[in-house]
Every structure is written in structure tokens, then in C-alpha cells.
Structure 1
Amino acid sequence: MSNFLARRMNSAGASCSYNPNYGLSGFSSPSYVRNPRQGCVRVFAVNYDPEKMFKRPPETGLIARRMTHKMMEQNKEFASQMQRAKDDIRRQVLTRREARNPPDDGLELIEYMLNTDAEDMEFEVARCRPKLTPVFFKQLDSVIGAERFSAKPDQERLAELDTLRQYLEEAVEAVDKAVVKTASATDRLKKLLTSKDKKETILEMAAANEIDQALVDLLQQNIDAAKAAEQTGPAEFMEKVKVAVSKYLVTV
């Protein structure tokens, strides 16, 4: 600043003003301009970047957002892979079970049960329940007695027969109780699925203590059956109903 300009500012009571918009729209360079009327120098900012050398800085958090998006996509793919694996296992189990045909003869049915995988026993008991009559259990007791009092009893086979006898007796009792609950659950599920306002129906059922594990299990069975038949729409619909119902399930 020249001496002349300094004297003018001191003698005329010069004042400086600053443009509040400085720096808001790009890179600005301050400039001094003399006001001939007031005899002062006003300082204000102007956008001065003719070479376009100064650009806006990159947005912060861009890498973090991209990483989050990538992780979400990976999680979706992982969940999809897990679901496909579960569906494959379910189809394999169904295929294995359908390939076996339980015999009608009591002695053959005993051997059939002894050769059943542990994970399929519950299913086989439910499927063969009409054949597990008191007559069948008498035949099983006869086989156990014959093995126990034979000249050279096979202790391993005897242990298997005793275990089978105890398991079948308990399993049959559990199946009979489940049938009673399922019969009631079937009516309740039919009422729920055919209702026009399902939210209201769920609230009414919860108030009447009609939501129990049997109802949820029956829903899951229908979901599995729909998926096995590749009925995606009904399966997804019943899964939503199951989620809504499970909120009011009270387990003891």
C-alpha cells in the first residue's frame, strides 16, 4: 500500500468492510478497491480462479460408504448361499425318506426301525404310528425276550432292542399328544389364513391364548411344504404370518 493511500485512509477515517460470501463458491482472492465517494478502501472477496486449479475437495466418508455397501452385498450373497444350502439339505432328507417304505410285518418293522438313522426316527414314528399297535409291542417284547434268554445272547443287539422299545413307547405317547394339539392348531391356522384382517385375528388369538408352539410348528410345516413344491409366493406369505404370530408366542 502506498504512502499516499495510507495518508488518505488515516485522514478520511477510512473503514474496511468484508464480503460475507467470501469462500462460499469456490476459491476466492481478496481484493482492495477504493471508494471515491467516501475516500476509503473497501475490502471484499471475489472468486478468482481463472485456471480452475482449485476444485472442491472430495466428499468425506466416500470410502466408508462404499465399504459398507460392499459388506451389505456380501452379506446378502452369504445369506443367499446359506439358504440354498439349507434347501439342498432339505431336499436330500425328503428324497432319502421317500425312498424308504416301512413294511407291514411286525418283525420286519422292528428291523426297519433298527436300521433307521437317528435324525429320521421321529419322522418314521409319526409315519408308522398306525402300525405301532399293542400287537407290535408284544412282538417286540417277544424278540427282546428271545434274545435275552438265548444260549449266547448278543448283548449289543439286546441293548439296541431295549433302547428301541423304550424310545418307541415314549415317542408314540408324544405323537398322540401332538396329534391332539395339531388338530386344534389346524383349525386355528385355517381361521388365521382365511381371515380378512390377519393382524386383528392374531390379536384376538393372542388374547384367547390360542397361539402356541403347535401352531407355529404347523406353520413351519406348511412353509417347508410350499418351498419343496417351489411355491415361493405362498411360502413367503406364510413366513410373514409366522413372524407376526411368533411375537405373541409364550414358551414355558
Structure 2
Amino acid sequence: MAALSIGIATTSSALLTRPTPRSSRPTRISCIGWDPEGVLGPPQTGHLARIEFKRRLERDADAREAFERQVIEEKERRRALRESRAAPDTAEELIEYFLNTEAREIEFEISRLRQRLDKEFFSHLQYELGQLRFAVSKTQDIEDRLIELEALQKALQEGTEAYDKMQTDLIKAKQSLTKVLTSKDVKATLLEMVERNELNRSFLTLLDENIANAHKGNQKQAADFMEKLRGAVLKYMTV
């Protein structure tokens, strides 16, 4: 009996004894850069500098005014530079003219001198490139000149193609805008234009220009109508 009593006591004591609870600690993330599923997307560079620059402008009114003044001065400098440059007469001079043009001014000069950038001009440019490529003795100056002309040829070809496409789109946009403004059923006309894919960025840009001109001319009724039209266009426009 004694042995049985001891056995029961021992068993009961073992059953009633609870394991010592472990202290629970919150899970810590030690590396936030680990993103195997790509949820966070690719890392972005330069955004911190842009945010800091924006905050500095917001805090410092003087810096903001200086920045705006600098923008105005730069626009004035570019305008004065454009007016001071005279278009050359020959293809040879026109090549040098473009070689001495700032990169960001190329687009403007292409639009200004588009008629001069014809088949004859590009033939002359190609002829000079051929002479440089097949020169008997190539010096460093020839190599540098060849690189410059190849880059210029590519820029002018792509630039003229883009300009011509823009002009074509602009003509179509003018026709489309006239159609809408003279329509008795604007909604039906817009739906027809959607089917023909005539509502695009060129159309919207032209409409914005007309709205701005209406405001400048104090044509409030016309501006209000075109702004309502713009809202309707955005519902249907395909970018």
C-alpha cells in the first residue's frame, strides 16, 4: 500500500507540474532590403535628393525665388541665342551650323530649318561621311569628324521623322477639333472619333492651346465650353 501511495503521489506531482514558460520576444526584421518576390519593385536612385531639394524650396522662399529667376533667365538666354543665329546658305555651312548647336536646341532648329533638311542636304552629308570612312590615311581628326557626323546624321534623321509625324498629327487634330466644335451632337461625334482612333495626345494638346487662347482673349463662354469638351474627351481618349 505504501509503495502504491508513493507511486500515485509521484505521478500526480509530475502531471501537475507545468513547464517553465519561455519569454516571448517579438520577431525582428534584420534586413529590409531582402525582397525575393519583388514586391517592393526595383530600388530607386536619386529620389532622396529630389525630395530634399523640394523640401528646401518649400522651406526657403528666397531659394525658390532664385530658382524661378534662374529659369526665367535661362529661357531669355535661349531666346536671345536663337534670334542671334542666322541660318547658313550652303549644305556645308548648315552641317557646321548643326554641329555648333546645343543638344537641347536641335529639336527647335530642326523645326525652324525643316525645309532646308531635304534630300540634297542628306546626300551631301552622306557624301562627306563616305569620304571620311574610305580615307586612305585616317588621322585622329578624321576619326573624330566621322564620329561627329555619324551622330549628327542619326539625330537629324530621327528628328525630321518625328517632326513630320508631329505635323501630320497636328493637321489631323485640327480637322478633328473643327469637326467637334461644329457638331450638333458632340457626344455622337466623339464616339465616331473613338472608333477611328482620332482622339489622341495631339488632339488634346491642340484643345489645351485653344482653351489657353480663349482665356487670354477673355472669351469665357468659349473657354468654358472647351473645358467641358476636354473633360468628355478624357473619358474616351486612348493615350
Equivalent in 101, 123, 133 of residue 138 of structure 1:
123
Which residue of structure 1 lines up, in the alignment, with residue 139 of structure 2?
152
Which residue of structure 2 lines up, in the alignment, with residue 129 of structure 1?
114
Say yes or no: does 1:168 pair with 2:194: no
The 3 A distance-change label for structure 1 pair 159 and 250 is same
What per-residue deviation string (whole Å, max 9, x for no partner) do you get for residues 165-195 of structure 1? 1121222222223322221112122334556
SS for the counterpart of 2:197 is: coil
SS for the counterpart of 1:108 is: helix
Structure 2: state its 5+ residue gaps: 1-57
The 3 A distance-change label for structure 1 pair 128 and 242 is farther
Which residue of structure 2 lines up, in the alignment, with residue 216 of structure 1?
204
Residue identity matched to 2:150: D
Which residue of structure 1 lines up, in the alignment, with residue 49 of structure 2?
none
CA RMSD of aligned residues (A): 4.5
* Bigger RCO of structures 1 and 2 (CA < 8 A, at least 6 apart): 2
> How many Å separate the matches in 2 of 1:92 and 1:223?
29
Equivalent in 170, 177, 184 of residue 165 of structure 2:
177
Q: CA offset at residue 130 of structure 1?
A: 1.1
Q: CA offset at residue 124 of structure 1?
A: 1.6
Q: What TM-score, normalized by structure 1, do the two folds share?
A: 0.51
> How many Å separate the matches in 2 of 1:106 and 1:233?
46
Percent identity for Structure 1 against Structure 2:
36
Within 5 Å, give how 1:2-13 maps onto structure 2: none
> How many Å separate the matches in 1 of 2:130 and 2:196?
50
> How many Å separate the matches in 2 of 1:232 and 1:135?
44
The 3 A distance-change label for structure 1 pair 126 and 231 is same
Q: CA offset at residue 199 of structure 1?
A: 6.8
Residue identity matched to 2:91: G
Structure that is richer in helix per residue: 2
Structure 1: state its 5+ residue gaps: 1-73
The 3 A distance-change label for structure 1 pair 191 and 142 is same
Residue identity matched to 2:238: V
- The answer as to whether partners of 2:197 and 2:238 remain within 8 angstroms in 1 is no
What per-residue deviation string (whole Å, max 9, x for no partner) do you get for residues 79-125 of structure 1? x97xx769836565444434333223111111111111222212221
Within 5 Å, give how 1:1-252 maps onto structure 2: 88=72, 93-148=78-133, 149=135, 151-154=138-141, 155-193=143-181, 202=190, 205-206=193-194, 208-220=196-208, 226=213, 231=216, 233=218, 237=223, 240=227, 242=230, 245-251=233-239
SS for the counterpart of 1:173 is: helix
What per-residue deviation string (whole Å, max 9, x for no partner) do you get for residues 3-29 of structure 1? xxxxxxxxxxxxxxxxxxxxxxxxxxx
Q: For structure 1, which segment, 116-125 or 197-206, has the greater mean C-alpha deviation from structure 2 after superposition?
A: 197-206
The 3 A distance-change label for structure 1 pair 128 and 158 is same
The 3 A distance-change label for structure 1 pair 207 and 115 is same
> How many Å separate the matches in 2 of 1:222 and 1:96?
29
> How many Å separate the matches in 1 of 2:108 and 2:79?
11
The 3 A distance-change label for structure 1 pair 137 and 232 is same
